[in-house]
Amino acid sequence: MTNTTVHLAVYDTLADWETGHATAWLARAGFTVRTVGPVAGEPVTTLAGLRIVPDLPLGDLRPEDSALLILPGADTYDEGDALAPFTAKARAFLDAGVPVAAICGATAGLAREGLLDDRAHTGAASFHLAATGYRGAGRYVEADAVTDGDLITAGPTEPVAFAREIFARLGAYEGKRDAWYRLFHDSDPAAFAELNAREA
């Protein structure tokens, strides 16, 4: 992969815990993480009350400048159409063959956009997505995280599985993803040594 810039969508009420594993460990693997907000220079406030000033506005984001778009969950996905521009951008990414990773409420946004109708996916719960009126219920998978081509989805309790699927799609931590997952998901102490072992 030649492009190593990953874009993280940021907006009011984003769920802080859902993307930290992915973004921190992508940065450690040499990727650049840039934040994308609704308006240039206008801070957003997370569920924890943290203020983030986005690196660039959504309108300036182009699929060809990115390796991946990450959409975290947010309460505002179920409170109207304020985040519809982000799911429309996800469509542009997928149409261009650039991967998108969505977790929790962002999967409901993708459902409303019609992006889950023909792709295997998961989310917070099947009934949550069904409430959007989408036509993809038959493609819902009861799993921690699901990858279907360029689309990765996960529920709100699975940030580690979400990160693992992102790493796999981007080719990060080849040979060490299993150890990474066992360390952070299963608290396996043996995985720490495997993850940190130097290559021979």
What is the set of active-site residues? 104
Retrieve residue 56's tokens.
């660039």
Retrieve residue 122's tokens.
């998961």
> Residues 109, 102: contact at Cβ < 8 Å?
yes
Retrieve residue 39's tokens.
């308006």
> Residues 109, 83: contact at Cβ < 8 Å?
yes
